[in-house]
Amino acid sequence: MSTLTALRETVAGLHRELTRYNLVSWTAGNISARVPGEDLMVIKPSGVSYDDLSADTMVVTDLHGNLVEGDLSPSSDTDAHAYVYRHMPEVGGVAHTHSSYATAWAARGEPIPCVLTMIADEFGGAIPVGPFALIGDDSIGRGIVETLRESRSPAVLMRQHGPFTVGKDARAAVKAAVLLEEVARTVHFAHQLGTPDAIGQDDVDRLYARYQNVYGQ
């Protein structure tokens, strides 16, 4: 199986995780993966039902959003994904959802504070807010890159739009999207009871280092 064929299958399969965890509605949201060693990416087609997604419906574009392979138009967020790949070479996957709680924080333009060990583990501190940007060109991508360059977080809450997450591959980006919604919901509930205390920076650093370098197999 070629790398491109395998990536098509992986990206198609990961879209089912977005519906499994209730992170998207209708046809909103998208996942992409960088093609290793090539200036290409695999991304979801625009406006196609999640039930109809398959390896064959995934499209391939270059890192300027130009269609290279596929019969369908690429996602409306393609330019944003492409900008991230061009300017963050360490990123191998990007995910975008409109998950309810994370998007509510984005609507408020408020970072999610680091008040849970899970936030310290996965995001390395508060989850930042990016600028408002219109869909249709690389403005969203510029906002993502500018924000994440100043943060350890793999997630950014694009103001009045929704969350984008990045990772070393597409699976890591989707994992970050799932955990982002979990902590966004929990911190929202915590705020209904009062103002939760932020974890101290030294403890955040220790938690982040342990999770990123020791946790797991």
Residue numbers annotated as active site:
121, 215
DSSP strands (E only) in 137-215: 155-158, 162-167
DSSP strands (E only) in the chain: 30-34, 40-43, 59-62, 67-69, 93-96, 129-130, 155-158, 162-167
Which runs of consecutive H residues, i.e. helices, occur in 124-169? 139-148
Helix (H, G, I), strand (E, B) or coil at 146: helix
Kind and range of the H or E run holding 55: none
